[in-house]
Amino acid sequence: MRIPRGQIEQLDEPLLWQGRIRDLGINDLGDPETPLSAELDASPEQGGIRLRGSLRGNLTLICDRCLGPLELAVDGAVNVLLLPEGAVDEAGPETGPRETGLIELPPHGGSIDLMAPLREALYLELPQRLLCRRDCKGLCPVCGQNWNAGDCDCVAEPGDDRWAPLQKLKKKLEQA
């Protein structure tokens, strides 16, 4: 999302972007053709321009446990402060919270690339573990059966004997 500096300085209406995951330079997160949209409001702040808004989309991902499909609606916050040339280096704690992105305004006639803040908003919306549901049972390590669909007839392999003392302790604690 490249925006001419003059368009941002007008501050009249929200900045709108319609794109795809691949447009953000992301190729390893679900279908790269998944549509996304962003809406950003611009307002003057601290001698620069504050852009606030959100990035939205519905992603189809893969569950980390069972490798099944996972639908995830994202609505990530975007918060960027555009400062005049040289002011980014001098910006300190008074510029706001740490999550605020600082971008240097280009000279007049230049444009601002907002792909990095949009990409960051998307990644921050993702959970650490992508699970199709909270109680996902995963896959059988022997045959690969999805345990959410049903059990299999595989026999669990015996564990490593070196863990036996900890297993005894676990059983003892569970009984207490």
Q: Do the Cβ atoms of 139 and 67 come closer than 8 Å? A: yes
Cα–Cα distance between 51 and 17 in angstroms, integer? Answer: 13
Task: Name beta bridge partners: 43.
Answer: 50
pLDDT in tens, the chain (176 residues): 777 767 766 767 888 889 999 998 888 888 889 999 999 998 888 788 888 999 999 999 999 999 999 999 999 999 988 887 666 555 554 544 444 577 877 777 677 888 889 999 999 999 999 999 999 999 998 899 999 999 999 887 777 889 889 989 999 999 97
For residue 49, the tally of other CB atoms under 10 A from its CB is 21
pLDDT one-digit tens code per residue, 80-110 = 888 876 665 555 545 444 445 778 777 776 7
Buried b (16+ CB within 10 A) or exposed e, 27-40: eebbeeebebebeb
Global pTM exceeds 0.75: no
